[in-house]
Amino acid sequence: MFPFKHLREGKQVWFLGDIVFFLYRINRFKIRSFLRWFIINLEGGTLYSVTLRKIFATYHGVEIGMYSSMGCFELNQYGPGTKIGRYCAIAEHSNAFTANHPMNTKSVHSFFYHEVHGYTQNNLLHRTHLIIGNDVFIGHNAIILPSVSLIGDGAIIGAGAVVHADVPPYAVVVGHPSRIVRYRFSKTVIEKLLKSKWWEKTIDELLPDIESFQKPLDNGTTIM
């Protein structure tokens, strides 16, 4: 749509991106919605946009690694204090909550604890900090509760899962309440992948070795 090549990681952000970032401080829903749409098209989509990541980190409190996309850029699906790694695939209808409604006050209504309504100056919610690792898949309608602080690298969260506890690297988690049903690979393969930290490379650096990402490694480990 726009005559700009999408930004590659590590290169200078177009000056238009800086302008959009500055204008985003105008807290109006329609303006912010348009600016997000504009910068996504300008910088080649959510997979590549540097400015969009800067906007979410600064204005929405969500850090998103390069090449992660889909649901992590949906407003209010991932609460402030969330850090998402690189190369993650996150369904648009999944949610991660970093705070619960207060239960020991007279009312649970946000009028009384959230400053957005203008009735209180301070946000009384206690937020946790959620870290989602690299190369994580989170399925449709999955819910991550505030009791979770870490989802390990390479983990898979199945559709509809309600996750209430931390998830180890490369675990496959399903169900309500969630449970680990298997690991994607054997312990030996998992250790090699974690040690390699391949996700720290850019997509351009990985392309010469793309065939290694297209063949099965092993059959994993089933939890009995």
CATH number of the domain residue 176 falls in: 2.160.10.10
Final residue of a structural domain among 24, 43, 59: 59
Same domain, 26 and 120: no
Nearest by Cα to 68 from 60, 78, 76, 81: 78
> Is 60 a residue of the active site?
no
82 and 7, same structural domain? no
pLDDT of the residue at 169: 98
- Tell me, yes or no, whether 111 and 192 share the same domain: yes
Given the residues 6, 93, 114, 164, select the one marked as catalytic: 93
Q: pTM for this one?
A: 0.85
3-state percent helix, strand, coil for the chain, nearest multiple of 5? 30, 15, 55
Q: How many domains are contained in the chain? A: 2
Domain that holds residue 94: 63-222
Predicted local distance difference test score (pLDDT) of residue 222: 65
Asked if 32 and 124 sit in the same domain, the reply is no
For residues 128 and 113, the answer to whether their CB atoms sit within 8 Å is no
Q: Which residues contact 202 (CB under 8 A, 6 or more apart)?
A: 8, 9, 10, 66
For the record, the structure tokens of 176 come out as: 């309500």
Pair (125, 46) in one structural domain: no
Domain boundary among 15, 41, 59: 59
Task: Clarify whether residues 127 and 202 are in a common domain.
Answer: yes
128 and 214 both lie in a single domain: yes
Cα–Cα nearest to 10, from 218, 181, 161, 205? 205
- Choosing from 59, 77, 106, the residue where a domain stops is 59
User: What pLDDT, on the 0 to 100 scale, is given for residue 15?
Assistant: 74
Residue 137 and residue 39 in one domain: no
Q: What is the pLDDT of residues 71-125, one digit of tens each?
A: 899 888 898 889 999 999 999 899 998 887 778 888 888 888 877 777 877 777 7
Task: State the pLDDT at residue 98.
Answer: 82
103 with 175, same domain: the answer is: yes
79 with 172, same domain?
yes
Q: Average pLDDT across each block of 10 residues of the chain; the chain has 224 residues. List them in order.
A: 42 70 90 93 92 95 94 88 95 87 82 79 80 97 94 97 96 95 94 96 94 85 60
The reply to whether 135 and 147 lie within a common domain is yes
* Whether residue 55 is found in the same domain as residue 73: no
Q: Under the phi-then-psi rule, with left for phi > 0, alpha for psi from -120 to 50, and beta for the rest, what region is 110? A: alpha
Is residue 171 classed as helix, strand or coil in its secondary structure?
strand
